[in-house]
Amino acid sequence: MYALDQLDLTEKVDVERMITSFPEIKTEFDTIQDALEMYAVSQGIQPHQRIKEKILHSISNLEKERELNLQDLPLITDFSDYKKWLNLINDLIPGEVPKDNVFTHVLQQSDKVTQMLVVASTDIGDEVHNDSHESFLILKGRCKCTVGNDVRFMEAGDFMTIPLHKNHNVEVLSDHVVAILQHVAV
What is the domain-level CATH number for residue 88? 2.60.120.10
The CA-based angle 69-73-74, given to 5 degrees, is 125
- The structural domain count of the chain equals 2
Say whether pLDDT at 175 is over 80: yes
Same domain, 82 and 174: yes
Q: What is the reported pLDDT for 49? A: 87
CA distance 149 to 166: 10
pLDDT at 97 over 80: no
Is residue 174 included in any domain, yes or no?
Answer: yes
Identify the band that residue 93 occupies on the pLDDT scale cut at 50, 70 and 90: very high
96 vs 181, higher pLDDT:
181
Residues 100 and 172 grouped into a single domain = yes
Could you tell me if 100 and 171 lie in one domain?
yes
Is 115 in the same domain as 23? no
Q: Please indicate, yes or no, whether residues 28 and 112 belong to a single structural domain of this protein.
A: no
The answer, yes or no, to whether residue 46 has pLDDT greater than 90, is: no
Is-contact 75 184, C-beta < 8 A? Answer: yes
Q: What is the pLDDT of residue 104?
A: 94
Amino acid occupying residue 171: E
What mean pLDDT is reported for the chain? Answer: 93
Question: How far is it, in rounded angstroms, from Cα 110 to Cα 73?
Answer: 12
pLDDT above 90 covers a percentage of the chain that reads: 78
Domain contains 60 = no
For residues 37 and 117, state if they share a domain. no
> 36 in a domain, yes or no?
yes
Give the pLDDT score at 45: 84
Amino acid at 167: N
Q: Does residue 48 sit in helix, strand or coil?
A: coil
Is 70 part of any domain? no
CA 106, CA 118: separation in Å to the nearest integer?
9
CB 160 within 8 A of CB 176: no
Question: Contact, 140 vs 103, CB < 8 A?
Answer: no
| 55: in domain | no
CA distance 139 to 120: 12
pLDDT of 61 reads: 87
Residue ranges making up the domain that contains 37:
9-43
Q: What are the residues whose beta carbons fall under 8 Å from the beta carbon of 53, sequence distance 6 or more?
A: none
Instruction: Pick the more confident residue, 98 or 3.
Output: 3
Whether 163 and 89 map to the same domain: the answer is yes
What pLDDT, on a 0 to 100 scale, did the predictor assign at position 48? Answer: 84
Contact predicate 167/134, CB 8 Å: no
Confidence at residue 86, expressed as pLDDT on a 0 to 100 scale: 97
82 and 39 share a domain? no
* 17 shares a domain with 97: no
Same domain, 137 and 91: yes
Residues 91 and 179 placed together within one structural domain of the fold: yes
Q: What is the pLDDT of residue 163?
A: 92
> Can you tell me the distance from the alpha carbon of 148 to that of 167, in angstroms, rounded to the nearest whole number?
5
Q: Give the C-alpha separation, 119 to 121, whole Å.
A: 7
CB–CB of 121/100 below 8 Å?
yes
